[in-house]
Amino acid sequence: MIPDTYQRFFARVLARVLPHSLLGQLSLVMVLGVLVTQLVGGVIWSAQLRNKSEIETRIAAQHLAHSAVSAIRYFKSLPANYRPLMIQQLREMGGTRFFVNANATPILLTPIGKNALADMASQTVLKTLREELPFLSGFKLAFAWPDDLNVSDDGLKIADLPDNWVQHILLIKPNPAPILVIQIQLEPGQWLYLAALMPNPYFLESNGPLSPDRLMLQALSLAAVLLLSILVVRWTTRPLAALSDAAEAFGKGDTVPDLPETGSREFVKTARAFRAMRDRIKRYLEDREKLFASISHDLRTPITRLKLRTELLDDDAMRADFHEDLDELDMMVKGALQSVKDSDIHENRTEVRLDPLIQRMIRDAQMAGHAVAFTESGLTVMAKPLALKRAIGNLFDNALFYGERVTISVRRHAINSSEQGIDNRELDDIKIEIRDHGPGVPEDAFSSLFQPYLRLAHGREQNVGGMGLGLGIARNIIQAHGGELLLANHAEGGLVATIVLPHR
């Protein structure tokens, strides 16, 4: 079994190499499938072609060997002084299947390079010659290219011969074919020279699966299949991309048009289900808002009546207790109304310049005597202006209440989107950090900071009028923008609230 370390390593490598989009993954699977199919099919086809070529070459070599045996027997039967005369007559007549010459010694040839088919053909011819001509012992066989091929012991080459001697026997130009040269010793000092082509002159190319024509055909077929595959995958995944964009926009509170009910049956059903889900969520949000407003409004009337009746109590201590409880209840009702109103700000997204938005808050704080440090960044973000102002304002107000002074910074943070499973490109986040220089927050309290109506001890002492809803409202608004609110204690003291928003 593979150790866990290697498994994790391979998983990380695959996560970086493989595309994260459905279009990329399906395209990669289709491409790899086609390539593997082509490769396996090519291997099988090449093996079959090689086997067929070997069978055809062996049969052709045997046929050529039998023709050579007949020619050798004929010249062997002639007197030695008649052989040159007969060879000359054959040349003037245009030759036979072989180019024939008589030499005193065997000619030294330069054979072609190592080739399995050529070796098999040579061995087949040699075996047949030895079986049919057992009375002859000197055999020399080799395949050679016509360039610089010697035909006689005086250095005469095929290129020096008249065309009518070889034009019907050998292929010299424009596309030379390998020539089988057979040299046989008929008597001492008498060597018969036979040169001929195989029945298929270009048999060496017959088992080559990588020939230019075949490679071009395979490349065209592969390109056609890949193009059609990618088009089909793109056509299939485009509705899913539209559905993903619509879901993301709806999650951020934007107005989403109805998805077109076109494409596959599964997507049409998904589009209808998404529209029904969107309508149910919208109705739920509207009913929730009406319910909160109605309950909060209806509760304030009996609270006011109770306060009036409390004034009729004679016991001062009891009257004070009733007033305190009613004030707390009234504060909770107001907080519920504020939470609904602040979280459900209906407005369109636009490009917001962060520097002027933050500077207006700082100007008001400085007029009240607070120390705030801020450096302009020149950055913008796509957001709902009023909602974003409310979120930043809540965090800024908390920092002013609980810290001696406030430091605000805005910067762009580059992230590698492949780590988030989007795709392989660089994206930007906008980080807005608001740091106070107060006592900070106990580590065990971070998990409960966003709960409504929760206030820490030092917060209740310094901000008597607070209700503990600011952080929850700010986080809801930021999450509706597709961002994140992070809270952490600073190493040098104080709390740092970080708003992370997508740049686009």
- The reported pTM is 0.46
CA 474 to chain centre: 38
In sequence order, the 6+-apart residues with CB closer than 8 A to the CB of 22 are: 237, 240
- pLDDT the model gives residue 452: 66
By three-state DSSP, how is residue 484 classified? strand
Q: Among residues of the chain, what percentage have pLDDT more than 90? A: 8
In sequence order, the 6+-apart residues with CB closer than 8 A to the CB of 478 are: 391, 484, 485, 499, 500, 501
pLDDT tens-digit readout, 35-82: 888 788 878 877 888 888 888 889 999 999 999 999 899 988 888 888
Rounded to whole angstroms, the Cα distance separating 354 from 432 reads: 9
pLDDT tens-digit readout, 9-38: 777 776 677 777 766 777 777 778 878 887
CA distances from 232 to 26, 52, 238, 264, 439 (A): 10, 38, 10, 12, 60
- pLDDT the model gives residue 111: 87
In sequence order, the 6+-apart residues with CB closer than 8 A to the CB of 460 are: 466
- pLDDT the model gives residue 66: 92
Secondary structure (DSSP) of 393-456: HHHHHHHHHHSSEEEEEEEEEEEEGGGGTS-SSEEEEEEEEEEE-S----GGGGGGTTSTT---
pLDDT tens-digit readout, 259-285: 777 777 877 888 888 888 888 887 877
Q: Which domains does the chain have, with CATH numbers?
A: 51-205 (no CATH), 348-502 (3.30.565.10)
Alpha-carbon Rg of the chain, whole angstroms?
47
Q: Among residues of the chain, what percentage have pLDDT more than 70? A: 82
